[in-house]
């Protein structure tokens, strides 16, 4: 409660102290129910560096080959894929499979991947081929959240423009212009190259 007493919160919200305490108890219970059994750091320690590297390499290999089935086989049953700041979210193996087939693994783009770490989590830097520059340019940083040896979530922080207002713009996202601020924040900040041959 940010250091405020229940009486102060009750006064601010025009509520009773018992109502504030009850709301806080419900919030704590709800938060506890949503916490994973094991923290991400504990999961990574349990896997060990060698197994984690193998998992990341397998993910990169499957993504680079466009092998949807191989990627999906690595996912937890209730896996999710998101791309902030977009509201798009794909859940479950079926939802992620459909997204991969229609989007990044449709066969329309050439990808390169580099293993990375982001705030202590396993991550993969993703680059898409740019015909004009004849190089792979930054596209996203996929941060992997693991549940045991399965990928529970992929949060793809995209380094391309978000100026489009229609679905067609995002359907062709790998072809859109780089966002220099995002490239700096997502790639340079983590010591990742901004061009790959």
Instruction: For residues 52 and 167, give the distance between their C-alpha atoms in angstroms, rounded to a whole number.
Output: 35
Say whether pLDDT at 51 is over 50: yes
pLDDT bracket for residue 1 (50, 70, 90): very low
Distances from the Cα of 156 to the Cαs of 1, 32, 124, 140, in angstroms?
A: 32, 26, 9, 6
166 and 133 in a single domain? The answer is yes
21 and 64 in a single domain? The answer is no
46 and 30 in a single domain? The answer is no
Task: Identify whether 132 is part of a domain.
Answer: yes
Domain range for 141 is 40-190
88 compared with 28, residue with greater pLDDT: 88
For range 80-88, the mean pLDDT: 86
Q: Which residues contact 16 (CB under 8 A, 6 or more apart)?
A: 10
CA 189 to chain CA centroid, Å, is 17
Neighbours of 125 (CB within 10 A): 25
166 and 108 in a single domain? The answer is yes
Say whether pLDDT at 36 is over 60: no
Distances from the Cα of 17 to the Cαs of 26, 30, 60, in angstroms?
A: 14, 20, 53
Mean of all residue pLDDT scores within the chain? 87
Domain count, the chain: 2
Strand partners, 160: 178
Say whether pLDDT at 114 is over 50: yes
- The H-assigned helical ranges of 74-193 are 92-102, 167-171, 180-182
What is the pLDDT, as a whole number, of residue 159? 93
26 and 109 in a single domain? The answer is no
State whether residue 50 is helix, strand or coil.
helix
148 and 94 in a single domain? The answer is yes
Task: Identify whether 95 is part of a domain.
Answer: yes
For range 18-22, the mean pLDDT: 79
Task: Identify whether 196 is part of a domain.
Answer: no
- CATH number, position 53: 3.10.450.50
pLDDT bracket for residue 55 (50, 70, 90): very high
Closest CA to 122 of 96, 137, 100, 141: 141
73 and 143 in a single domain? The answer is yes
18 and 44 in a single domain? The answer is no
45 and 22 in a single domain? The answer is no
- Pairing assessment for the beta strands 75-82 and 150-158 based on DSSP bridges: parallel
């Amino acid at each position: 409660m940010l250091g405020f007493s229940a009486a102060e919160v009750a006064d601010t919200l025009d509520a009773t102290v018992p109502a504030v305490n009850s709301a806080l108890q419900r919030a704590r219970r709800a938060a506890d129910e949503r916490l994973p059994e094991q923290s991400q750091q504990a999961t990574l320690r349990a896997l060990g560096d060698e197994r984690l590297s193998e998992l990341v390499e397998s993910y990169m290999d499957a993504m680079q080959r466009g092998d949807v089935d191989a990627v999906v086989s690595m996912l937890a049953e209730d896996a999710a894929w998101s791309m902030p700041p977009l509201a798009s979210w794909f859940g479950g193996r079926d939802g992620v499979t459909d997204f991969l087939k229609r989007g990044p693994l449709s066969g329309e783009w050439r990808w390169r991947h580099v293993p990375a770490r982001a705030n202590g989590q396993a991550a993969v830097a993703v680059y898409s081929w740019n015909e004009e520059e004849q190089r792979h340019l930054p596209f996203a940083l996929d941060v992997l959240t693991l549940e045991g040896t399965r990928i529970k979530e992929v949060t793809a922080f995209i380094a391309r423009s978000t100026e489009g207002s229609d679905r067609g713009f995002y359907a062709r996202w790998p072809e859109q212009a780089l966002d220099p601020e995002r490239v700096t924040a997502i790639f340079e900040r983590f010591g990742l190259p901004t061009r790959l041959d």
